[in-house]
């Protein structure tokens, strides 16, 4: 039975990936900090889909937490979804440096180390997939969050380019605004974001899985966000920074 390991698995895109992959018949390894919520999510998935679900409590902002997940990945999985992440409740110059470093550890160091822990087994078996959840913010300028997600995109593309096995794939997933707990947790005011820019978590996951099957190295769900990213490449970076700095937060 193929196995998928998902970080940040109890809410938002992580929970949507868990539902989709369980519906597809994969066994799951769910990773998150909140053990009680993790256990409840696992029980619901087992009951609804009849699949094996393992829980792995781990805080990816800590070296110990990353090591725990690395050890599980070294035992072998077929799909790794690096989804854990968060936003800051404040602009770049307002955020304590310790919080910025924590973001880099979760968004960059954990993604690097977990990807490298999973790939050797995948390559030896000649099959396996890694989805690193980035963001449309990666293509714009918005503090450490967008900078860290730009790293995820570049890293994923670079890793994919160096893997000779055709059935071992690494893909960066770059969604736009998704209706999850993310913005509430980051204390972001989303009242100024137009309705047409919002996506559902299930929609994002469905498009991600299609793009992964097609061998895409970067997935930008929906035509509207593909257009936004394309236009953004031709807009001066200073203007992009001014606009993105105002959008979604007052």
> What are 54-113's pLDDT values in tens digits?
999 999 999 999 999 999 999 999 999 999 999 887 777 889 999 999 999 999 999 999
pLDDT in tens, 137-157: 999 887 899 999 999 999 999
Catalytic residue among 49, 129, 145, 225: 145
Domains of the chain by start residue, with CATH: 3-246 (3.40.50.720)
Q: Which residue has the tokens 């955020």?
A: 95
Tell me the pLDDT band of 239, cut-offs 50, 70 and 90. Answer: very low
Q: For residue 113, what is the enclosing H or E element?
A: helix 110-125
> Residue 77's pLDDT is what?
98
Give how far Cα 129 sits from Cα of 99, 104, 167, Å: 30, 23, 8
Q: What angle do CA 156, 74, 124 make, to 5 degrees?
A: 75
Terminus-to-terminus CA distance in the chain, angstroms? 48
pLDDT at 212 over 50: yes
Q: Which residue has the tokens 């809410």?
A: 11
Q: The tokens of 223 are what?
A: 């035509």
> Residue 236's pLDDT is what?
52
Active site annotation includes 47: no
Catalytic residue among 47, 149, 225, 226: 149
> b vs e for 25-40, b when ≥16 Cβ sit within 10 Å of the residue's Cβ?
ebbbbbbbbeeebbee
Active site annotation includes 145: yes
User: Residue 129 forms beta bridges with which residues?
Assistant: 79, 169
d(CA 170, CA 151) in angstroms, rounded, equals 14
> Residue 61's pLDDT is what?
98
pLDDT at 160 over 60: yes
Residues 38-63 have a mean pLDDT of 98
Q: Which residue has the tokens 């196995």?
A: 3
pLDDT at 250 over 60: no
| 118 closest CA partner among 84, 74, 180 | 74
pLDDT in tens, 18-37: 999 999 999 999 999 999 99
Residue-averaged pLDDT of the chain: 90
pLDDT at 183 over 70: no
Q: What DSSP string runs through 190-237?
A: -TTS-GGGEE-HHHHHHHHHHHHHTT-SEE--SHHHHHHHHHHTTS-H
Q: pTM value?
A: 0.89
> Residue 90's pLDDT is what?
76
Number of H helices, E strands in the chain: 10, 9
Residues 39-60 have a mean pLDDT of 98
User: Residue 172 forms beta bridges with which residues?
Assistant: 132, 218
Residues 194-204 have a mean pLDDT of 85
């Amino acid at each position: 039975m193929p196995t998928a390991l998902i970080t940040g698995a109890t809410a938002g895109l992580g929970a949507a990936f868990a539902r989709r992959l369980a519906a597809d018949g994969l066994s799951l390894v769910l990773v998150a900090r909140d053990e009680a919520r993790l256990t409840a999510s696992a029980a619901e998935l087992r009951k609804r889909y009849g699949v094996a679900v393992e829980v792995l409590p781990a805080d990816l902002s800590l070296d110990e937490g990353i090591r725990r997940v690395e050890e599980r990945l070294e035992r072998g999985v077929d799909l790794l979804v690096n989804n854990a992440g968060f936003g800051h409740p404040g602009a770049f110059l307002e955020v304590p440096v310790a919080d910025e470093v924590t973001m880099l550890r979760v968004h960059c160091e954990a993604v690097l180390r977990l990807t490298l822990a999973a790939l050797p087994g995948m390559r030896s078996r000649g099959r396996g997939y890694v989805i690193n959840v980035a963001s449309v913010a990666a293509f714009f300028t918005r503090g450490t969050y967008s900078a860290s997600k730009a790293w995820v995109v570049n890293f994923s593309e670079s890793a994919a380019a160096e893997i000779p096995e055709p059935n071992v794939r690494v893909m960066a997933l770059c969604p736009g605004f998704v209706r999850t707990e993310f913005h509430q947790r980051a204390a972001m005011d989303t009242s100024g974001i137009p309705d047409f820019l919002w996506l559902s978590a299930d929609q994002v996951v469905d498009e991600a899985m299609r793009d992964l099957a097609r061998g895409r190295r970067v997935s930008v769900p929906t035509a509207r966000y593909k257009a936004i990213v394309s236009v953004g490449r031709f807009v001066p970076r200073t203007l992009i920074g001014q606009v993105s700095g105002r959008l979604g937060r007052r």
